[in-house]
Amino acid sequence: MKNMAPAFKFLQCFTLTLIVVFTLQQQTYAQGAATDSDAALIRKIYDRALTDGRCYPWLEHLSLNIGHRLSGSTGAEKAVAWTKSMLDTMGLDSVWLQPVMVPHWVRGEAEQVRVVGSKKYGTFNMNALALGGSVGTGAKGISAEVVEVMSWEELDNLNERGIRGKIVFYNRPMDATKIRTFEAYGGAVDQRVSGASRAAKYGAIGVLVRSITLALDDYPHTGSLRYDTAVTSIPAVAISTLAAEKLSGLLKDEGKATVFMKTGCQMLPEAPSFNVIGEIRGTERPGDVIAVGGHLDSWDVGHGAHDDGAGCTQSMDVLRILQRAGYRPRHTIRCVLFMNEENGLRGGRQYAAEAERKGEYHLAAVESDAGGFTPRGFSFDGDEAVIDKFFEKIQTLEPLFKPYGLTFTRGGSGADIGPLKGMKGLLSGYSPDSQRYFDLHHTAADTFDKVNKRELELGAASMAALVYLLDKYGL
């Protein structure tokens, strides 16, 4: 027995060492303390994305071979099939389609919008796009005097006496003094979303909306509207900012103007579609999910390259980059390509409902839906207690992101992941530089050639790095 003593003492010491190492490792996870190995793996993630990334060629195919992908369209159907086939080639643990019924709105024939009978200009056309979800004018079109408003107060002051039988022209611009362009967008987009019904309440027969952009150009910007079922649905179109400036100047010079509008858009019966999902199963907590995604649908003009083909292909590449870096996640890492963000959010809602039905817990969700420009950081949203706890932890992890120019802010995430908020996990929005985003947003100019390869790849790497740290250190 005496001969066993040294071996026993060695076993005790070895066991104690293992306990100490395990305890320190768990404390590191719990405290979120950055390590040299973290910095090394993040460097590996960026190297992989910048030398062997797939998001750019994937986006090229999605943009040029499939094109725009409005919910219910043939383009959306092709995009679902193709992105699933790409995920199938990656050797993920699971790839599947999640059914969802979506609205099916069609634009129909090209819009005709023109000023008629101007003393100075005679008759002239204005570049226009019907707003998504708008009713059409009918085959004969509509013609009426235009009344310009810059605010809801002006609209209400005009009321029925000044509006009945006319076309309301909403001409409130985005606030150019706002450095955060999404804030400027939020300050103007309400007239696009609610303008038709608020004008119809006073008897208007149609609306024109200044395109929601800081650019002064001839590209009209479409986007969804929301009808109030308590009032008549009237046709609504966006006109380019140059057209809006010309019409506004004409009203000042001549006192009045008459506009003719003809649109052929209509809402068809709902159509079946899918969210596209692929995942790497977690080795320790497979029931806890970290989702990363974008929306696969786009408006029916341009390629939908920045909005949101970029976010979709970046999210796909996040899984591939982590795979190629040899990383096996503790939690399940899932890529979700949502359908119908643009005019219904059906995909995001369906995904959250299915996750709740299956008892899945989403530890975190990251959405890329702000374009494929240079990375600036991430914004975070969720339960206040969760956010507070996360920002305490991120102080020790933030130095890992400084070499890549990334910062972290509170507030905002993404529309598609918003329905997951009730799970009390962390919601994050990828935040690239947004100064050029609203030049292209919802227009025919949102094409593949506007996307920079390196900027797109840096975004994918930044998202993969955040997912890695969320997976390793949790909340």
Task: Give the residue numbers marked as catalytic.
Answer: 341
Nearest-angstrom CA–CA distance, 307 and 437: 9
Structure tokens at 380: 């975070």
**C-alpha distances in angstroms, 53 versus 95, 288, 321, 392?**
20, 27, 7, 33
Using a 10 angstrom Cβ sphere, with 0-12 exposed, 13-18 middle and 19 or more buried, the burial of residue 113 is: buried
Provide CB contacts within 8 A for 337, sequence distance 6+.
83, 275, 276, 277, 293, 294, 295, 296, 312, 315, 316
Quick one: tokens of 463?
A: 């998202």
List, edge to edge, every strand of the sheet that includes 266-280: 94-106, 266-280, 331-338, 285-295, 361-367, 426-432, 375-382, 407-410
Token pair 């799970």 is found at 423
How many residues can be counted in the chain?
A: 475
DSSP for 377-420, written as a single string: EEEEEE-HHHHHHHHHHHHHHGGGTGGGT-EEEES---TTTGGG
Q: Within 10 A of 216 (CB to CB), how many other CB atoms are there?
A: 12
Q: How far apart, in whole angstroms, are the C-alpha atoms of residue 298 and residue 408?
A: 28
**């022209």: which residue's tokens?**
169
Q: Could you give the CA distance from residue 223 to residue 174 in angstroms, rounded to a whole number?
A: 15
Q: What is the DSSP-derived secondary structure letter of residue 287?
A: E
What is the phi-psi region of residue 316: left when phi exceeds 0, alpha when psi lies from -120 to 50, beta otherwise? alpha
